[in-house]
Structure 1
């Protein structure tokens, strides 16, 4: 973890080495999360009613809507601001207090929206359980963020293992041979199971020392400066909600209404396979790449070298990995889901092509996050979502279900080209000025 200035300077000369070391450290947690996601997907696809896989994905999308402001916003900023501070110090507690306050406000807003959601097929009791499980999950995610900011990567990985095990165990308790809980009960158990990871999170945080000063008013009253600082990252998360999570839910509902549960499950199998490996890539980038990039924000030349080194490693590595998955698609789809979903094989080529472009575009866009460029970040999200909607409108009538994955591929292919164009333009501008600017997307 890039938390001490001297190691950072040494690693800048060979940026990919630190990225690889950090990625290997997170391998256990990533393997647990991926295995948990695979087992849950298999159980739902095999034992839930037709349309269960799509319903499960919708619940995951609702969870994401309720947690995006915290996980994709507040917590991202918290890593940036807590990293140089000593746990238990007044400034540390002020930033942590601001994060807790913003999380509570976001959760209350989400709960109100969920209670008033007319199209959600769930009773008020089920909605309350969902919100409670998400609240517990948000609390464990906040503790995990404190571990990450303190450089406690092993504890952070152990927490990821606990979250995966508890969520998977909750689904396995209700679905499987001889077990047939109602699907809504299984889905709520999954949410609450993941939330119960707050218990090991507290233990790991206390052992790592990030709870230092708990008996002496550990979380201080948030300062206005801290609230403003984290609010910029919250604005980025709002962009993710409106132009990411909400769009995904709308597309899923559109395909379900247009093609029916059985065909929607075929598309969802391709999307769920993508989600499984996307989760791994996102975890590596957010826990290894982003903290280092944020720490190098004051060293523009080193940050650019680091970004180029990671891109040079990821572009061929991701291509090889996705190519291997594509070759094994006939074995993977029945193994991970159900034999009836083998039809998703026809959708995987454009899905994986779009995913490769998406992962590389993430590397560029992380620059905006590291520099807290909220306006530009939201603008990129808005343009991407608008392009996706236009592509869906044109391709679904022409190509049917395949139009959804081709819209995905074209969306992220064009986004990656745009990122490369603006990065090159920014580089030419720096050369013309004879100075090293911040290296961000212009």
Structure 2
């Protein structure tokens, strides 16, 4: 019990500081650059996530599972460590090759702003993405051994460093020039954590180790699931945002993105708790099916009223939230909260069940689910934006995750049956 409370305390510290940092960055960008700046920031974050999602959501998740019970001096630990190093490098190289090959589409809106500094911008984005990816890998190693204090230091430093850059340079530089500096500040934490992990003996040797094929295949399952998330979630979000910019404009897209930013901040708190407390416990119970069922069932029904109350509070305070996190220009977006919050309720409640796909490594089901829901969402947006405008996107969001919740409740019925 004491260990659980200690873990919960460090998890709360990490989530609290990350949330404050995220809210502060959004607030400052809104003040300095308005709705247009929020749109560019969301676009930039989406680009970075295209690079980091497979490493962090695939390689690192697999690494946490396989390193958790291994001694750092063991041969198997070193094999999984080096497999993570090489696979991370491969994923970053492929993602950057994709983005740079279609630079007009992915980077055009930023490169127009920076003019003659385009190559410096591209180099900064590529180098920053690589360092950020390896920093996330180091954080995963800390989580695998439950070294939560240093994990909090790492995540908190990333958030506060990004906030500091926006505070000192916001308004002095264009939004296009500010964003690579923000990335550089966040990835600089890598140089702090590398000696920490070496001192903690979580990195025992930099001597190359021959990695057997089964190790790559084990991690590969998680990579495939994360890749489907990139293609079907991150790229989908990028395409939808680009579609909305084309149909409407940067200003209106920025109003919608402001509501999405609010959504992402409270969803971050929820998913961080799930990722740090709920998912590891599920993984530990994977061989004890009866205990796992009871744990999932109790969690599923426990979080529902908490989510509902929290989102109702957001809805009632929506105008105040927009003023607090952005400025008066964004208050007109309050009408978008209704369907956005309904979709978030469905999404957050369903996460309790959809995590079962990951922990049980149901690769085919996970990929099929990602593809179908992504296509369903794009079709909905395409058909609903014309008659409903911006609200059509939030209606599509609600319908999408309502369908996800219904499917997960039917498919995993035995885990929630009373």
Short-chain TM bin: over 0.9
Take 1:301 and 1:206, find their aligned partners in 2: how far apart are those partners?
40
Partner of 1:214: 205
Q: Deviations over 1:149-173 (max 9, x none)?
A: 1111222122111111111112222
Unaligned runs of 5+ in 1: 1-10, 12-16, 429-442
Matched, 1:95 2:80: yes
Partner of 2:213: 224
Take 1:381 and 1:375, find their aligned partners in 2: how far apart are those partners?
10
Matched, 1:205 2:197: yes
Q: Deviations over 1:288-346 (max 9, x none)?
A: 11111112111111211221122122111111111112111111101101111011210
8 Å contact kept, 1:67–1:107: yes
8 Å contact kept, 2:143–2:151: yes
Partner of 2:115: none
Partner of 1:389: 378
Matched, 1:191 2:183: yes
Candidates 48, 56, 64, aligned match of 1:71: 56
Alpha-carbon distance, 1:134 to partner: 1.0
8 Å contact kept, 2:343–2:397: yes
Alpha-carbon distance, 1:20 to partner: 7.5
8 Å contact kept, 2:35–2:255: no
Partner of 1:261: 250
Please, which moves more after superposition, 229-238 or 196-205?
196-205
Take 1:182 and 1:382, find their aligned partners in 2: how far apart are those partners?
37
8 Å contact kept, 2:318–2:334: yes
Relative to 1, partners in 2 of residues 1:202 and 1:391: Cα closer, same or farther, differing over 3 Å? same
Partner of 1:249: 238
8 Å contact kept, 1:66–1:110: yes
Alpha-carbon distance, 1:18 to partner: 8.6
8 Å contact kept, 2:24–2:163: yes
Partner of 2:325: 336
Please, which moves more after superposition, 202-211 or 146-155?
202-211
Secondary structure of 1:255 counterpart: helix
Matched, 1:83 2:78: no
TM-score, normalization: structure 1? 0.88
Q: Deviations over 1:169-194 (max 9, x none)?
A: 1222211xxx4112111100111111
Secondary structure of 2:263 counterpart: helix
Matched, 1:155 2:161: no
RMSD, aligned CA: 2.0
8 Å contact kept, 1:19–1:310: no
Q: Deviations over 1:103-137 (max 9, x none)?
A: 00011111212221132222333122111111111
Relative to 1, partners in 2 of residues 1:19 and 1:304: Cα closer, same or farther, differing over 3 Å? farther
Relative to 1, partners in 2 of residues 1:401 and 1:427: Cα closer, same or farther, differing over 3 Å? closer
8 Å contact kept, 2:259–2:337: yes
Relative to 1, partners in 2 of residues 1:420 and 1:309: Cα closer, same or farther, differing over 3 Å? same
Take 2:94 and 2:391, find their aligned partners in 1: how far apart are those partners?
36
Query: Which has the larger helix fraction?
Result: 2
Take 2:414 and 2:397, find their aligned partners in 1: how far apart are those partners?
26
Alpha-carbon distance, 1:207 to partner: 4.3
Alpha-carbon distance, 1:214 to partner: 2.7
Matched, 1:278 2:267: yes
Alpha-carbon distance, 1:427 to partner: 8.0
Secondary structure of 1:236 counterpart: helix
Secondary structure of 2:412 counterpart: helix
Alpha-carbon distance, 1:223 to partner: 2.1
Unaligned runs of 5+ in 2: 112-117
Partner of 2:225: 236
Matched, 1:105 2:90: yes
Candidates 117, 126, 130, aligned match of 1:131: 126
Take 1:224 and 1:340, find their aligned partners in 2: how far apart are those partners?
55
Partner of 1:182: 174
Alpha-carbon distance, 1:220 to partner: 2.7
Relative to 1, partners in 2 of residues 1:395 and 1:425: Cα closer, same or farther, differing over 3 Å? farther
Relative to 1, partners in 2 of residues 1:281 and 1:345: Cα closer, same or farther, differing over 3 Å? same
Alpha-carbon distance, 1:253 to partner: 0.9
Secondary structure of 1:106 counterpart: helix
